[in-house]
Structure 1
Amino acid sequence: MDQRFASSLDGEPSNTRALSRRRLLGAATTLLLLPVIPRIAMAAQLLAVRTWPADEYTRVTLELDSELRAEHFTLENPHRMVVDIQGMDVNPALNELVRKVRPDDPYIQSLRVAQNRSNVVRIVFDLKQAIAPQVFTLKPVGNYKYRLVLDLYPKNAQDPLAALLKKNPQKMEEDPLARILEDIGRNPKGTGRATMPVIPNSVAPPIEAKIAPQPNNRRGRTITIALDPGHGGEDPGAIGKGGTYEKNVVLAIAQKLKARIDATPGMRAYLTRDGDYFVPLHVRVEKARRVKADLFVSIHADAFVRPTAGGSSVYVLSERGASSTSASWLAQKENAADLIGGVNLNVQNQNIVKILLDLSTSAQIKDSTNLAMRMLDELKNVYRLHKPQVESAGFAVLKAPDMPSILVETAFISNPEEERMLRSQAAQDKFAQALHSGINRFFAANPHLIASR
C-alpha cells in the first residue's frame, strides 16, 4: 500500500504518527528530569487556647486540628522561654492567647507572638522567675483534638510539706515535727544550733492507757488529712446537663471541708489542688505521702449513663476486682483522667510506676474500709445513699500503701436534680460536715493510728 494513503486509527498518515510518538516520548523524558515541586502544606488550624495558672505550675495549651512539632529553649537576664511551633502561621486566634495571661500568674509576665519564618510561629514568654519547662503533645482524646502543652514549673520547686507548714502557722506549736522542720529551714547548712523541741509523752501513749473516744487530738501530734478534689484544669470531670463541671463542685466541697478540719484542734488539711488546674493521679498520691498524711480522701461527683441514677457512694481500693459493674465502670473512667488532663509520659520513671502498681497491704484496705463505713453513716444523714455498703474497685488514686484512702462520690452530677443540689452552697456545706464528722469518728475509734504515725 502506498504510504501516502496509509493512516493511523486517528486518521493521521503513518509517518505523522511516528513523529508524534517521538515528540510524546521526548516530552515525557523532559518531565521526568524536572524537579518535583511539593504541594504547599496547609497551616494547622488553631481551635482553642487555654491557660491554667497555679502556684505549683502554669499550663498553656494550644488545641489544633493536626499534630505539630515544637522546639523550645530558655534565656536569662531577664528570664524568658522561646517556643518555635512548626507547621503554623500567625493568625488572629493567637491574639487570644496573649489576652489570656492573668496579672496574678506566678510565672508568666507577658508573651509575644510573631512569624519567625515560613510556617514557623515563635512565642516568647516573658517570665517572672526561672522555670523548668516541659513541652509535649497529646493525641486526640475525648472532646479534645491534638494538643500542644507547655507546662511551666518553677526551677526550684517548693516541697509540699514546707508549703503546708507555711499555710498553717497556727499549727506549728502543737506539732513537734513541724517545729523541727522549721528549725532546719532556718539553718539549712547547719550554721546554727536548732532547738530540739520536747515531744510530749502523750505522742506515744502506753498500751494500757484508756483514751476517751473524742474527735479532738490532744496527744501532741497534728493529724494531717489529704483532701483530693478530683479532676481540674484541662480535665473537667463529669459535666451535668445544666453545664455544671464536676471539678468546680468538688473543689468547693473540699475547701469547705478543709476549713472545718483546720478549725479542729489537733488537725490540719492539705489540698492536692487548691485551684482550677490539672494534677496527675500519681502526683496526688505522691503529694499526700510527702506531707505525711494520715488519711487520703478523694472527693468526686458521680456520673452514669442513666440520668435517674443518684445518691452518695464511698469506695476503697480492691485487689481482686470491682465489687460491681458500676464500680468497675467508674474506676475506668476516673483512671482515664490522666489521658484527658494530659500527662507528659516522657518524664515518667520507675518510682512513679511503682507507686501506681504497688498493691496496698491488707491492713491499709481494712483501715480504709473502716473509714468508708463511718463516712457512709454520716452521708446518709445529709442525703440518700446510692448503695448502703462500701464498694471497691481498682482506683489508681487510692494506691497509697501507707495510709487509709477512700474515694467519695457525693452525688450524681448526671442527675439533673442532684446537679442543682451540688451547685447549692448549703448542700456543699452539708457534705463537708458529713465528711468531717466521719473523719472525727474514725480517729476517735482508732487512736492507735495516730500514735503509729
Structure 2
Amino acid sequence: MSNRHFSFKIIILMLALLPAASWGAANKIKSVRIWPSPDNTRVVFDLEGSPEYTYFTLSKPERLVIDLADTQGKFDFSGLSNDSALLKKIRYSTAKNKQSVRLVLELEKSIKPQIFALTPTAPYGDRLVIDLRDREAEAKEAAPKQVVTHHAQESTNRPIIVAVDAGHGGEDPGSIGHAGTYEKNITLSIAKSLARLIDSESGMKSVLVRSGDYYVGYSRRTDIARQAGADLFVSIHADAFTTPQPSGGSVWVLSMKRANTELGRWLEKKERYSELLGGAAEVIQDSDSERYLTQALLDMSMDHSMTTSYGLSDMVISEMKKITHMHKSAPQAASLAVLTSPDIPSILVETGFISNPKEEKNLNWSTHRERLASAIFNAIKSHFKRTPPDGTLWASLKQDTRTHKVSRGESLSVLAQRYNISVKNLKVANNMNSDIVRIGQVLTIPSS
C-alpha cells in the first residue's frame, strides 16, 4: 500500500470520528426582538431549536454575557430596532469553542436578569427569553404599594379615573386574523382612542395600562389601575374562535365559577395561553395560579364591584349595538384574572371576532375603531352621570341641582353669572360640548 493511499484512509477515518457539531452547529439564531416597557425590557432570540445556555454578568461597564452551545453566530445585530432605556446594544464576543457563540448585552445600568427558554407556541418557535429589570425598579416593586384611595371627606371635585387596558402586547400578539392582523395592535389603537375621549371630557381622566407594544402581566394590570385610584377598569380585546363563522362584539364580567358556555371556556383558555406567551416569567415564578383570585374573593367589596360591572356592561352593549353586530345581547361571565380586582368595577369588551375575515377588515379600519371607542365612552359617561363616585366633580354637580328654562337673550355666560357658577360646570352638568343654547331649552343648574 502506498504512503499516499494510507494517508488518505487516515484522513477519512479521522473525519468520520469527528463530532457532528464540527460539520456545522445544530442551532441557529433566526431573529431577535426587543420589547421595551416602562418597567423592563424583554429580549427574545428566535432559534432553530431548543437552546442550551449559560450566562453571567460583568460590571464596569455593565454587561450580561450569554453562551449558547452548539449554535451558529451569523445573525447581524446591527439593524435591530432598539428603544430600550436599559439595553445599549447586542454583540458577539470570543466564544468558548468553535461550536458555540457568546452574546454580550451591553447595559445602561445594573440589572437583574431573568433568562428562560420557551418551547414552540404559535406563532413562535423555540425561543430564549431575557427579561432585563433594573435593580431600582426591583426595589420599588418589592416596597409596599402606595394605593390612591378616594374618600369624600379627603378629595373634593376630583376627576373620575378610568383605567383603559389594551389586551395582550409585546411577545403576546393575542389572536391573529386570516390576513395576519395582530389583536394586540387593534386593542392598543382602540384603547388610545378611548383614553383620548375620556381625557377630553371635563371631570374625567384616563390611565393607559399599556401605552406601547409590550406585555403587562394580569395582576400587574389591575395593580396599575389600583395605584392610580381608578374608579373603573376597562379591558379591550378582539375575540377569536376556532372557525371563522362567529362574529360580533360581547362584554364580559367576572364569574366566581368557570364559564358554562363554549365561548366563555375558550376565552378562559385564551387568557391562560396569553399569560404563557407574554408573561412566562410570572408563570415560572408563581406556581399558585389562583393566588390572586383567591385574595380577591376574600374581599366583600367584590359584590358591589360585580353588580356595578354588570350594569355598565348592559349600557356598553346598548351603545355598541348602534354601530356593530353583537355576538351576545347580554353581559357574559367567565373566570378571568384580568377582571379580579375586588375594589374596582371591571369589564372586558370584545370588539369583534378577528377570526372572522369581514370583522378583521372592519377592525383594520381606523374609523370603525374610533366608533367602537366612542360607543364604549358614551356608555361609561352615561353610567357615571347617573351614579358619579363620591368626591368627584360630577358628584358635586349632581347635588342640590335646579333647572332653568332658557329665555330670549340668555347665554351660558349670563346664566353662569346669575347662578354664581362657572360656564365649565354648567356645561358639564348638561353634557354640553358647545356654548350654544336654544330658547326653551331646560338646563340643569348645579349647586355653586
Is 1:108 paired with 2:87?
A: yes
Q: 1 CA distance for matches of 2:37 and 2:351?
A: 26
* Deviates further, 321-330 or 267-276: 321-330
Contact kept, 8 Å, 1:368 with 1:406, in 2: the verdict is yes
Matched, 1:117 2:54: no
The 3-state SS of whatever aligns with 2:27 is coil
Distance in 2 of aligned mates of 1:254 and 1:324: 27
2:333 counterpart of 1:385? no
Relative to structure 2, which stretch is displaced further, 76-85 or 426-435?
76-85
Question: Shift of residue 230 of structure 1?
Answer: 0.8
- Cα shift readout 1:78-130 (whole Å, capped 9, x = no counterpart): 33222222332322xx21x342142x332222221134112332111222333
The amino acid across from 1:372 in the alignment is S
Q: 5+ unaligned residues in a row in structure 1: which ranges?
A: 1-36, 161-175, 179-198, 204-218
3-state SS, counterpart of residue 156 of structure 1: helix
Residue 43 of structure 1 corresponds to 26
Partner-residue secondary structure (3-state), 1:344? helix
Moved more, 242-251 or 105-114: 105-114
1:141 aligns with 2:121: yes
TM-score, length-scaled by structure 1: 0.73
Q: In 1, Cα distance between the equivalents of 2:349 and 2:27?
A: 42
**Distance between the aligned counterparts of 1:70 and 1:38, measured in 2?**
23
Alignment of 1:69-218 (within 5 A): 69-91=52-74, 94-95=75-76, 97-102=77-82, 104-118=83-97, 119-157=99-137, 203=155
3-state DSSP of counterpart to 2:280: coil
State the 1:348 CA deviation: 2.6
Q: Given residue 50 of structure 1, which amino acid in structure 2 is its aligned partner?
A: R
Report the counterpart of residue 355 of structure 2 in structure 1: 414
Task: Specify the code of the residue in structure 1 equivalent to 2:315.
Answer: R
Alpha-carbon displacement from aligned partner over 1:19-56 (angstroms, at most 9, x marks no partner): xxxxxxxxxxxxxxxxxx78444531333322222332
- Residues 347 and 235 (structure 1), Cα distance of their counterparts in 2 relative to 1, 3 Å cut: closer
Asked if 1:55 is matched to 2:19, the reply is: no
Question: What is the CA distance between 1:221 and its match in structure 2?
Answer: 2.0
The SS at the match of 2:53 is strand
Residue type of the partner of 1:249?
I
Q: Which residue of 2 aligns with 1:355?
A: 292
Task: Mark the CA change 1:322 to 1:346 in structure 2 (over 3 Å): closer, same or farther.
Answer: closer
Q: State the Cα distance separating 1:290 from its structure 2 match.
A: 2.4
Residues 318-349 of structure 1: CA deviation (Å, up to 9, x unaligned)? 11231422122122112310112241157635
Secondary structure of the structure 2 residue equivalent to 1:311 = coil
* 2:180 alignment partner in structure 1: 243
- Could you tell me which amino acid in structure 2 is paired with residue 277 of structure 1? Y
The answer (yes or no) to whether the contact 1:443–1:449 under 8 Å persists in 2 is: no
How big is the shift at 1:292? 2.4
Task: Flag the 1:222–1:129 CA change in 2: closer, same or farther, 3 A.
Answer: farther
8 A Cα contact 1:328 1:393, kept in partner = yes
The one-letter amino acid of 1:240's match is: G
* Structure 1 residue 444 corresponds to structure 2 residue 424: no
Matched, 1:295 2:232: yes
- Tell me how far 1:293 sits from its aligned partner: 1.9
Asked whether 1:367 is paired with 2:304, we answer no
Equivalent of residue 364 in structure 2, options 417, 420, 423: 423
Measured at CA, do residues 117 and 54 of structure 1 come closer, stay the same or move farther in structure 2, by a change above 3 Å? Answer: same
8 Å CA contact 1:358, 1:399 repeated in 2: no
Letter in 2 for 1:270: V
- Shift in Å at residue 243 of structure 1? 1.7
Residue 351 of structure 1: how far off its partner (Å): 9.1
CA drift of 1:354 comes to 2.3
Assess if the C-alpha contact under 8 Å between 1:319 and 1:359 holds in 2: no
The verdict on how the C-alpha distance between 1:332 and 1:353 changes in structure 2, with shifts beyond 3 A counting, is: closer
Correspondence for 2:402? none
8 Å contact from structure 1 (residues 222, 266) kept in 2: yes
Letter in 2 for 1:423: N
Write the deviation string for residues 372-415 of structure 1: whole angstroms up to 9, x where unpaired.
Answer: 11111111122221111000111121111221111100111111
Matched, 1:315 2:256: no
Distance (whole Å) between structure 2 residues aligned to residue 257 and residue 346 of structure 1: 30
Give yes or no for contact 1:357–1:399 (8 Å, CA) kept in 2.
no
Letter matched to residue 71 of structure 1: T
- From 388, 393, 400, the equivalent of 2:341 is 400
RMSD of aligned Cα (Å): 2.8
Pairwise mapping of residues 8-19 of structure 1 onto structure 2 (< 5 A)?
Answer: none
Gaps of 5+ in 2: 1-16, 142-147, 396-448
Q: Shift of the alpha carbon at 1:427?
A: 0.9
The amino acid that maps onto 1:70 is Y
Paired residues in the alignment total 363
Q: CA separation in 2, counterparts of 1:332 and 1:350? A: 17
Deviation at 1:57, TM superposition (A): 1.9
Secondary structure of residue in 1 paired with 2:106: strand
Residues 186-238 of structure 1 deviation map (CA, whole Å, 9 limit, x = unaligned): xxxxxxxxxxxxx98594xxxxxxxxxxxxxxx42232211111111111111
Q: Which amino acid aligns with 1:109?
A: K
**CA separation in 1, counterparts of 2:284 and 2:26?**
30
Give distance in 1, aligned partners of 2:27 and 2:234: 42
Structure 2 CA distance for partners of 1:278 and 1:391, relative to 1, 3 Å: same
Q: 2 CA distance for matches of 1:228 and 1:67?
A: 33
